[in-house]
Structure 1
């Protein structure tokens, strides 16, 4: 079954490269002024999908293997069997904080803040939806049993890692052409999230790899086709910002107006 899924992913990736798409222009945004900046799309759809497809395929092949079970034992032995930290509950959202902080400080980005928020929400719905479906279909036990999960076997893939790489890829897409250091910095938090999930004995390596692949793939697809949902009611209004906020108790929005 894992071989069939991997073959299907490779076949899908191969077919995608035969399609041609129109390059989309890039926007340069500040809260006090909105300008247009044309930045060529240097990478095709196929090249953007190689890494996430490879991560997903590798994760499926490694799942339930002796290698990942041995690796998990080694990791727990290195950090201690009583190791427990909840930093991963927050690091998965760190790229979102970076994204809107950069907007507020006037950093040049690919899109208007409303487009950023729209792409973030759509990417999160797709990636977490796919992750949830796989959890229910695969039904894989966590390495730590029920200690770090619910009463269900829902280890594969890692939801925390899916969210972390979704938010990190949104940050990457927005700033890779204007601020590469900021663009890549989100992945540091995403990798830390995946690593912490393994150190906490909540997930195996394959869970983390597939979660990362899903997050990256979903987000890059959304950005490639974002011209299909290009509606933006705030584009001609300067000095307005609306950013989502996440915490353990719920979800909300932060609104600001520059006069």
Structure 2
């Protein structure tokens, strides 16, 4: 019963987050996202749940129960999460290539995405190295938080911010993919629920911060570089997955 409702629980949480911000910002067509305290509620809750769960016995028990429930229904591992983590942010560039314009031009959105990725990646790597949480499959002690989930939710928030004024359904579809990525990280026995929750919160918050500080970043580092172009693409070298950034000044 837990696994049947888990995906829908994750999607409900992020849908509530998107819906709340949509109501707040639906009349705002300004170039950049203004800071709003309410926008912090969902990501802070998710991160807080994950952090508290590192030591809380009751939450640890929930992690174990969910793992046991999932294991009972596993027929074989599905590695779609290795690719779906990149789908939300890649969709932004795909939509632009199809002629569907978002909030920012390619230059600005690439700077924002690169900023979000640096914030997210740095936070995730620091926590992985300091938390020493064993993965459910006992393969290594870098379970907390989930990097795949953080990447997926970072991209989902990026997709939402860029296209919410075109159609909110773009944002919801990105969050659906991100929620699915988090679910499959648990399905594949790679992460606990607390890892996924914290990763989702970190991903969402990283993108929000990137939008909030973008005017400062642009003014400081790209003030006289109006012809800056760039792109961010996922890569796979046969052993590792990652994201490559290229910018031309």
2:183 is aligned with 1:195: yes
Query: Which structure has greater helix proportion?
Result: 2
Q: 1:248 to 1:95 in 2, by over 3 A?
A: same
2:73 is aligned with 1:78: yes
Structure 2 CA distance, aligned partners of 1:38 and 1:172?
14
Contact in 2 for aligned 1:165/1:216 (Cα 8 Å): yes
Larger Cα-atom Rg: 1
Please say which of residues 108-117 and 135-144 is displaced more in the overlay: 108-117
Aligned to 2:20: none
Q: Calculate the TM-score normalised by the size of structure 2.
A: 0.76
Q: 1:96 to 1:40 in 2, by over 3 A?
A: closer
How far off is 1:182 after superposition? Answer: 1.1
Aligned residues: 211
Structure 2 CA distance, aligned partners of 1:221 and 1:213?
12
Structure 1 CA distance, aligned partners of 2:176 and 2:162?
16
How far off is 1:104 after superposition? Answer: 1.3
Please say which of residues 92-101 and 244-253 is displaced more in the overlay: 244-253
Structure 1 CA distance, aligned partners of 2:155 and 2:95?
14
Contact in 2 for aligned 1:176/1:184 (Cα 8 Å): no
The structure 1 residue matched to 2:138, chosen from 145, 158, 170, is 145
Structure 2 CA distance, aligned partners of 1:253 and 1:58?
32
2:104 is aligned with 1:116: no
Q: 1:254 to 1:42 in 2, by over 3 A?
A: closer
- Per-residue Cα deviation, 1:83-109 (whole angstroms, up to 9, x for no partner): 212111100000122100111122231
Structure 2 CA distance, aligned partners of 1:129 and 1:57?
18
Q: 1:94 to 1:118 in 2, by over 3 A?
A: same
- Per-residue Cα deviation, 1:162-199 (whole angstroms, up to 9, x for no partner): 11111111111111122211122111111111111000
Q: How does 1:26-105 map to 2 (within 5 A)?
A: 38-39=29-30, 44-63=35-54, 65-80=60-75, 83-105=76-98
Structure 1 CA distance, aligned partners of 2:231 and 2:196?
28
Q: 1:213 to 1:203 in 2, by over 3 A?
A: same
Root-mean-square deviation (CA, aligned residues, Å) is 2.8
How far off is 1:62 after superposition? Answer: 2.8
Aligned to 1:181: 169
Q: 1:232 to 1:88 in 2, by over 3 A?
A: farther
Contact in 2 for aligned 1:45/1:224 (Cα 8 Å): no
Structure 1 CA distance, aligned partners of 2:244 and 2:67?
36
Aligned to 1:11: none
Q: 1:182 to 1:120 in 2, by over 3 A?
A: same
Structure 1 CA distance, aligned partners of 2:29 and 2:177?
29
Aligned to 1:33: none
Q: 1:254 to 1:161 in 2, by over 3 A?
A: same
Aligned to 1:21: none
Contact in 1 for aligned 2:153/2:200 (Cα 8 Å): yes
How far off is 1:218 after superposition? Answer: 1.1
Aligned to 2:145: 157
